Every structure is written in C-alpha cells, then in structure tokens.
Amino acid sequence: MCAHDHLSRRKAVARAPQLRFDNGVAELAAPAPGQRSYRWLAAPLVAFALFALTAGLLANHNPRPKGYFRLFFSDPIHLKAGFATAVVVLACFQLFTAAWIFRKLPWRKPAWVNPVHRWSGRLAFACTLPVAYHCIFKLGFRDPSNRVLAHSLLGCGAYGAFAAKVTIVRLHRFPRPVLPLAGGLLFAVLIGAWYTSALWLYRHDTAAAAAPAKSSPIPAGANATAGAAVFKSAGCGSCHTMKAAGAGGQIGPNLDEVRPDFETARAMVERGGGGMPPFGGQLTRQQIRDVAAFVAKNAGFR
C-alpha cells in the first residue's frame, strides 16, 4: 500500500463513527463536531447591535403621562428599582452557578445545577420586563444628567448583551472563552444599569428619611403665578399629579397628597432625588423659586 493510500485510510477511520463501551455494551458514538472559527462572532455582535438599537429607537420619545403601574410599590420608580434589584440578585446567582458548571468551585457539581442555572436566567429576564415597559414605552430615553444618560445607554445595552449571549448559547461550538466573556459582559451591564438607577434611588431615599422635618414659608421674592408657567413648561405634570395645575402624571409622588413646603419643593427641583432628575442646570434660580412657590401654595388645594 502506498503512503497516499495509507493516509487516506487513516483519515477515513478518523471520520468514521467510533465504538463506545458502556457497561460492557458497545454503542455507536459520532465524533464531536468541530469548533467554530472566530468569524462566527459576527452573529452575536449583530444580535447585540440589533436589540440595543431597537430598544433605543422604541424609547425615543418624551415621557408619557398614563399607563404606569406600581403593584405593591409606592410608585413606578420604586417598582423599577425593586425589579432591577431582583434581576441583579438573580444575576449574582447565575454567576455563582456558572462557576460551578465550569468547575471553578471546589465542590462536586450536582445534577440540579444546570437546570437551576437556566431557570434563574429565565426568571431574571422576566423581572426585566416591568422595568423595560416603563423605561422604553413610558419614560423614554432621557439625558437630563450624565447619570441618567449612562443609565439609558446601559439599559439598552443590557438587552443587546442578553441577545448576544442567547445567540452564542443557541449556535454552540464557539471557542471556549466566548461564552464566559459574553456572560461577564451581560453581568457588568446589568450591574451598571442597577448602580445608576436603583442604588442611586435607595441612597437618596435614605438621605431624605434622615433629613429633619421642617416647614418653610414662601419668601416674598418667589412668584407663584409665574411658577405655574414654569410647572407647565418644565413638564412637571408628566410626572406628578396636582389638581391646581391640571396635572395627572403617575410617575412621581402625588403633590396633592405630599403637599411639600417651599424649601422642600425648591430643593427637590434644584437637586433632584427619589427618582426625580435635577433641574438646577435647566431652570434659573428664580424659576426654581417660582415653581416651588406655586407647588407649596397650591398643592392639596381643593
């Protein structure tokens, strides 16, 4: 037999199905398929771009005044923060079980780890849906500050990263580092989105609760009549309910129920807090004083 025939025979044997013995019984086992080249990374990258851009385009609108829900939370903003926190907790559990699956932990992997890992990921995705509904279809893509802009971008990127990871899982046979890197990217984006929204909100809630209660009168230099026009032009009614202003927003607190005094309203408008963005860079100091006077004088008016 010539060398060429011998080489051809070896290749044919390598490609042929092999016998595998299990408990003394011979079974026919097909050879493992080959690994995909790195050129296949174009597929998850396209999925990332497609889903992230779609989320951004759908969110390209001004805040809408109706259609919010809060379940058992105090308002839709805290609902978003609560579900986002649940997503992060589940993402941490996903990271833990993934390390177990890839045998990076010192314990033997039990059979339940893989299905629990899959179902915790599905539950995490389900928890993102109330957040996405309010962010994409109600609040819209917003950029009143660097923090809010970063949160908007990370929120869109989270769905892009999720789509990229699912694409990698479904297509199989990517080079070994690809799936862990995709999972790490998704985890990092989720943490970033949570850090710039829920954690920021909880910190401001704690600071507001620690602040001493006080009541301040409306100063002579504040014009409540002019503040009514500021309330309308700044879009306060898209977030707050206030009968005197004809506003029925459901995002933030009902001003007729809260009835803030002048200084509380002024500080919230200027510095933001509790999910409300700061308006100190958009309104003049006099406008802030005027709108605070309007709210303090008319909130709760019947």
Task: Look up the CATH architecture of domain 224-298.
Answer: Orthogonal Bundle (1.10)
Least confident of 21-30, 38-47, 112-121, 141-150: 21-30
The structural domains of the chain, with segments of one domain joined by +, span: 39-210, 224-298
Mean pLDDT over 63-82 rounds to 85
DSSP-based three-state secondary structure for 43: helix
pLDDT reported for residue 116: 95
Which residues is 26 bridged to in the sheet?
21
pTM reported for the whole predicted model: 0.72
Classify burial at 15, counting beta carbons within 10 Å of its beta carbon; exposed 0-12, middle 13-18, buried 19 or more: exposed
Residue among 233, 241, 221 at smallest CA distance from 290: 221
The overall average pLDDT reported for the chain is 82
